[in-house]
Each structure stands twice: as C-alpha cells, then as structure tokens.
C-alpha cells in the first residue's frame, strides 16, 4: 500500500440500523484499529422495521421504534 499525507477514511452505507452489525463490521473494526477513520450512514431510521423477538413485541416498543433503533445504533 502506498503512503499518503491524507488520512484514510472509510464510509459504510447501510439501509437500516442494525445492518452495520452484520454486514462489514469486522472489516470496519480492523480498519479503525489500523487508524482509519470511519463514518456510518444509515439511510432509514428503522422506524418501520420488524420486531422478530416475540418478547419485545409490545405497543410501547412499536410506538417508539425509531428512538429505540437510534439508541441501539449508538451502542453498536
């Protein structure tokens, strides 16, 4: 790889929050560990997503899904 005075950056673009955790996260983690800056773009807020865990299927969660997805993304 050639050296450059410009810092290296990676842009990770995903359709939904939580996609970043299952699609490319190992690569982004490795690049960040090597000093590469990373930016994540989610094209939706996940507010219309499915809740696949029956234990989490409550009206409160469904009404606040966008906020919950944002919190999950921040923790990810």
**pLDDT at site 21:** 84
CA 57 – CA 52 distance, rounded (Å): 8
pLDDT at 63: 85
Single pTM value for the model? 0.67
Q: pLDDT per position in the chain (76 positions), as tens? A: 566 678 899 999 998 888 888 888 999 999 999 999 999 999 988 877 777 888 888 888 888 888 888 888 888 7
pLDDT at 36: 97
- Cα 5 to Cα 50: distance, rounded to the nearest angstrom: 44
SS3 22: helix
Please state the domain extents for the chain. Answer: 9-75
Task: List CB contacts of 67: < 8 A, sequence separation 6 or more.
Answer: none
- Rounded distance between C-alpha atoms, residue 41 and residue 19, angstroms: 11
């Amino acid at each position: 790889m050639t050296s450059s005075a410009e810092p290296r950056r990676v842009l990770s673009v995903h359709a939904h929050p939580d996609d970043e955790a299952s699609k490319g996260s190992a690569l982004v983690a490795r690049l960040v560990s090597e000093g590469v800056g990373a930016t994540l773009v989610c094209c939706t807020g996940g507010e219309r997503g499915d809740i696949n865990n029956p234990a989490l299927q409550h009206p409160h969660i469904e009404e606040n899904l966008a906020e919950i997805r944002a919190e999950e993304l921040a923790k990810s």
